[in-house]
């Protein structure tokens, strides 16, 4: 068993490792993460976690305000960015319905603090709204510079529980340093769309990506022949789904690559083989014992958070059966053969979501495709290579440079 880095509480360890993954891009400092988790303690509750992370975030945001008032632009920007990450971290255990007002408040602070930092970048980021089905999707455009030169541009699509702010630290600075513009957006079931507007996730992600590409093509600083779609976490399924239909994409990155959710779901369900074969056409009562266990004190808190708190909220459902029945609609097999653009598929060791990466690699028809392992020996195992982002970016962008002729 791998020794914990931050906490003997598996939930705090998971959330904490996610936050320290952003130290490489200025989204966190290791000491601030460690000291905050120590204050929470292994036995701390979700309320304790929220209180301590909120306190850290407010303390660092105040440093940002002091530095900004004194004209210390770089210091202010760095403080605002770290504070934004800590506001985000504060509300993660509070996921679920009904939506906790503290979650909404911390999300709004995450957003406003991040935008204060973004305005202080040498090339300030642009806050954008992308038209989508009578509403808009929030996003940011982060360009390399103000020269107006058309550049390769990476569109990033999120996963289950991230936000467009968090995506910045995971992707944007590394891309800009290599000459790539970045377009970040949150789709249905993600970020503001879920937290403020109650917009739940949907499987036809090609309908979500299309207006984002439309927006990119309106910009003179975007090279229309070098638009990349990159999906991370659950986006490693959503992005390939979109790329199978949206052929204005010049290259695809899936981190990790995934396959139809049906196969992962059926492994989890306590059903007989014939019932699994028929799912979701079964009596929903067959999953009542599983739902009762998830709500019981004996349940693994992390599994409860993933399924009952996060999953049911993101999918807009009220039962475990409805959650899994909706989840099996998310598939890529029907469009995988239509993915013809160059494709990079990450397969990090120890990430359960990466189990479908080989199937995706095999099914796509692109003649330029790579299935890239990231291993424990490299320090790059685990979900989305969270503790080895520099290695991830080196491999992805070196490959993209070649694939796009950059």
167 and 38 both lie in a single domain? no
Residue 78 is part of which domain span? Answer: 10-118
The answer to whether residue 37 is domain-embedded is yes
229 and 370 both lie in a single domain? yes
304 and 343 both lie in a single domain? no
221 and 349 both lie in a single domain? yes
The answer to whether residue 5 is domain-embedded is no
Residue 371 near residue 346, CB atoms below 8 Å: no
Straight-line distance from the first to the last Cα atom of the chain, in angstroms, rounded to the nearest whole number: 43
How far apart are the C-alpha atoms of 112 and 104, rounded to whole Å? 12
255 and 379 both lie in a single domain? yes
The answer to whether residue 51 is domain-embedded is yes
Q: Which of 70, 91, 118 is the last residue of a domain?
A: 118
With 0-12 / 13-18 / 19 or more C-beta atoms within 10 angstroms meaning exposed / middle / buried, residue 115 is middle
The answer to whether residue 1 is domain-embedded is no
Residue 133 near residue 199, CB atoms below 8 Å: no
106 and 169 both lie in a single domain? no
DSSP secondary structure code for residue 201 in this structure = P
Of 23, 54, 62, residue with least CA distance to 36: 54
Q: What is the CATH number of the domain that holds 377?
A: 3.40.50.1820
| pLDDT at residue 1, as a whole number | 47
190 and 241 both lie in a single domain? yes
**Reduced to 3 states, what is the DSSP secondary structure of residue 168?**
helix
Its pTM stands at 0.96
Measure Cα distances from 400 to 81, 320, 321 in Å: 27, 40, 41
159 and 202 both lie in a single domain? yes
Q: What is the CATH number of the domain that holds 103?
A: 1.20.1440.110
The answer to whether residue 351 is domain-embedded is yes
The answer to whether residue 295 is domain-embedded is yes
With 0-12 / 13-18 / 19 or more C-beta atoms within 10 angstroms meaning exposed / middle / buried, residue 55 is middle
The answer to whether residue 112 is domain-embedded is yes
How far apart are the C-alpha atoms of 326 and 315, rounded to whole Å? 7
List Cβ neighbours of 133 (8 Å cut-off, separation of 6 or more): none
With 0-12 / 13-18 / 19 or more C-beta atoms within 10 angstroms meaning exposed / middle / buried, residue 239 is buried
How far apart are the C-alpha atoms of 213 and 203, rounded to whole Å? 18
360 and 296 both lie in a single domain? no
Q: Which of 118, 136, 156 is the last residue of a domain?
A: 118
Per-residue pLDDT of the chain (406 residues; tens, 9 = 90+): 467 889 999 999 999 999 999 999 999 999 999 999 999 999 999 999 999 999 999 999 999 999 999 999 999 999 999 999 999 999 999 999 999 999 999 999 999 999 999 999 999 999 999 999 999 999 999 999 999 999 999 999 999 999 999 999 999 999 999 999 999 999 999 999 999 999 999 999 999 999 999 999 999 999 999 999 999 999 999 999 999 999 999 999 999 999 999 999 999 999 999 999 999 999 999 999 999 999 999 999 999 999 999 999 999 999 999 999 999 999 999 999 999 999 999 999 999 999 999 999 999 999 999 999 999 999 999 999 989 999 999 999 999 999 999 7
DSSP secondary structure code for residue 317 in this structure = -
397 and 254 both lie in a single domain? yes
Q: Which of 298, 327, 356 is the last residue of a domain?
A: 327
334 and 211 both lie in a single domain? yes
The answer to whether residue 220 is domain-embedded is yes
Full DSSP string of 203-268: S-THHHHHHHHHHHTT-TTEEEEEEEEEEETTHHHHHHHHHTT-TT-SEEEEET----HHHHHHHH
Give the gyration radius of the chain's Cα atoms. 21
What is the total count of domains within the chain? Answer: 3
46 and 65 both lie in a single domain? yes
């Amino acid at each position: 068993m791998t020794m914990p880095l931050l906490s003997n509480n598996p939930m705090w360890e998971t959330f904490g490792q996610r936050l320290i993954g952003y130290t490489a891009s200025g989204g966190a400092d290791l000491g601030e993460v460690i000291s905050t988790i120590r204050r929470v303690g292994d036995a701390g509750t979700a309320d304790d976690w929220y209180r301590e992370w909120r306190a850290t975030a407010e303390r660092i945001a105040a440093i940002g305000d002091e530095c900004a008032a004194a004209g210390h632009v770089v210091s202010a920007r760095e403080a605002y960015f770290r504070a934004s990450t800590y506001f985000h971290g504060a509300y993660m255990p509070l996921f679920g319905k009904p939506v906790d007002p503290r979650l909404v408040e911390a999300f709004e602070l995450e957003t406003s603090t991040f935008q204060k930092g973004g305005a202080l970048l040498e090339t300030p980021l642009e806050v954008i709204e992308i038209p989508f089905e009578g509403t808009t999707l929030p996003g940011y455009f982060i360009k390399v510079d103000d020269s107006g030169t058309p550049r390769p541009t990476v569109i990033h699509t999120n996963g289950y529980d991230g936000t467009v702010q968090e995506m910045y630290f995971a992707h944007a600075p590394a891309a800009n340093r290599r000459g790539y513009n970045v377009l970040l957006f949150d789709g249905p079931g993600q970020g503001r769309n879920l937290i403020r507007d109650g917009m739940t996730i949907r499987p036809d992600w090609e309908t979500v990506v299309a207006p984002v590409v439309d927006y990119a093509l309106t910009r003179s600083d975007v090279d229309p022949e070098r638009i990349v779609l990159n999906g991370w976490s659950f986006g490693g399924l959503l992005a390939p789904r979109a790329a199978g239909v949206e052929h204005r994409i010049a290259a695809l990155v899936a981190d990790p690559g995934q396959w139809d959710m049906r196969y992962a779901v059926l492994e989890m369900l306590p059903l007989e083989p014939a019932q699994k074969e028929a799912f979701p056409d079964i009596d929903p009562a067959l999953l009542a014992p599983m739902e009762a266990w998830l709500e019981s004190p004996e349940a693994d808190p992390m599994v409860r958070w993933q399924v009952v708190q996060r999953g049911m909220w993101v999918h807009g459902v009220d039962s475990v059966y409805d959650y899994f029945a909706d989840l099996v609609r998310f598939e890529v097999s029907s469009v995988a053969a239509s993915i013809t653009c160059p494709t990079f598929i990450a397969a990090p060791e120890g990430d359960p979501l990466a189990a479908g990466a080989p199937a995706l690699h095999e099914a796509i028809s692109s003649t330029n495709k790579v299935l890239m392992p990231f291993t424990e020996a490299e320090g790059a195992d685990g979900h989305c290579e969270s503790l080895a982002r520099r290695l991830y970016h080196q491999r992805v962008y070196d490959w993209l440079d070649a694939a796009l002729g950059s």
